[in-house]
Copies of this chain bind each other. A is one copy, B any other.
Amino acid sequence: MDIHQLTRSLHTRNDSKIVMMVADGLGGLPLEPGGPTELEAAATPNLDQLAARGVQGASIPVLPGISPGSGPGHLGLFGYDPLTYQIGRGALEATGIGFELQAGDVAIRCNFCTLDDDGLIVDRRAGRIPTEQSSQLVEKLRQVAVDGVEIFVEPVKEHRFVVVLRGENLQDNVKDTDPQATGVPPLDPQATDPGSQRTVEVASDFLRQAAEILRDEPQANFHTMRGFASRPELPSYEEVYGLRAAAVAVYPMYRGLAQLVGMQVLGQPKTLAEQVEIMGQSWDDHDFFFVHFKYTDSTGEDGNFEAKREQTEKFDAILPSVMDLNPDVLIVSGDHSTPSFLRSHSWHPVPTLLVSDCCRPDGLTTFSESSCIRGGLGQFEAKYLMCLALANAGRMGKYGA
């Protein structure tokens, strides 16, 4: 049975507040055997104090050994089975730049590329032209017009940009035009089902016009299209949990992911302190708050153990102001581990803490990778965290009589 079949039928409503604090990439690794992880090296008095009141566990983002991207990592935390619900590449790229996809849109990741005089690809990334330059080209591509379709062209970074098609009968089963090789021409868009034929026509028309517009560019004289993807159909927090949910995040990707599950995205915060302030201002209007902190991940990806330790301490320092709001359920977790030792997302279970009046404390007094594996929540798949949140908030009825 799908988890949401259960939560749909069992959830109840009350006045409780649930806060989910996500320190992106929270889990780490020691730099050498016997050494501490970033979290263990950090001074985290507030997390430790909360640990003494709460219950810990090790959250497995997808399945053992599977390192998720930001999309599946967050879907898991939000209670959406990341193997059932998938966000197509184009849709994730659009989401990541803050583009609000609508149902029926098709989003496409595009790369500027360099063609030679024979139309063969010389450089699949057009020399990774700087963002300032590609933004100007994106501006030019906004001239492209196709009857009956609204077209959005949005810069991303360097040679990358996004095209979103909005109109009738657009489906996303279309093959990439990037041949993943040089010395060959780009491929034509090709539908893998009849329902996507209209998308192929629009994309082909777009490419023809783009070729005209870009023809005299020295490097970026064409572009490829990849990852055609519609907005994923995700049931909303309101529908599956009965929660009026809000997200307070700095970065577009996480604001976008929250919006895909029907959370209201609050304010334009620049810092964690501002995020908590905004949460406090909207406290009465929502039942659930997702607060996203990016820098435990980015410092991990930089391979900077010390910086990740520092960012972990900054994250810890904000917790008293969160607790001042008196949430009924506080969850601290991460969407995956990002050990600076690996400089990448990893599969390692993520230390996860849940604090409520009825959480059954496990007697642990520190919050860490070593503690969490001895915690009362055991090791669990991230997708079950929202069930625990609802139960601890008194928002879940009894299953069966």
Contact = CB atoms under 8 A, between A and B. Distances in A.
B398 A345 contact: yes
A287 interface: no
B68 A396 contact: no
Interface in A342-401: 342, 344-349, 358, 360-363, 369-370, 373-380, 384-392, 396-401
A195 to B, nearest CB: 24
Interface stretch (A29-37, A124-132, A209-217): A29-37
Given A361-B34, A396-B66, A378 B373 contact: yes
A62 B369 contact: no
Interface stretch (A69-77, A112-120, A162-170, A185-193): A69-77
A29 B363 CA distance: 13
Interface residues of A, number: 71
A87 B390 CA distance: 24
Nearest to A355: B33
A226 to B, nearest CB: 12
A401 to B, nearest CB: 4
Nearest to A86: B400
A316 to B, nearest CB: 20
Given A92-B401, A358-B339, A379-B378, A387 B64 contact: yes
A63 B374 contact: no
A255 interface: no
A399 B73 CA distance: 9
Contact of A388 (B64, B82, B377, B400): B64
Q: 4 closest A-B pairs (Cβ-Cβ)? A: A65-B387, A378-B379, A65-B391, A72-B400
A254 B373 CA distance: 34
A67 B84 CA distance: 24
Interface of A: 1, 3, 6, 10, 29-30, 33-34, 37, 52-53, 58, 62-73, 82-84, 86-87, 89, 92-93, 339, 341-342, 344-349, 358, 360-363, 369-370, 373-380, 384-392, 396-401
Nearest to A68: B399
Contacts of A398: 67-69, 344-345
B384 A358 contact: no
Given A87-B401, A379-B380, 13 more contacts: A6-B63, A6-B83, A29-B360, A62-B399, A64-B384, A65-B390, A66-B399, A67-B391, A67-B397, A68-B398, A347-B387, A349-B378, A369-B376
Nearest to A392: B65
A136 to B, nearest CB: 26
A374 to B, nearest CB: 6
Nearest to A369: B360
A41 to B, nearest CB: 14
B399 A82 contact: yes
A68 B6 CA distance: 12
Contacts of A341: 358
Contact of A346 (B65, B71, B92, B358): B358
19 contacts: A6-B66, A29-B358, A37-B360, A64-B377, A64-B384, A64-B388, A65-B390, A67-B396, A67-B398, A68-B398, A70-B400, A86-B400, A92-B401, A93-B401, A342-B358, A345-B398, A348-B360, A349-B378, A377-B379
Contacts of A342: 358
A345 to B, nearest CB: 6
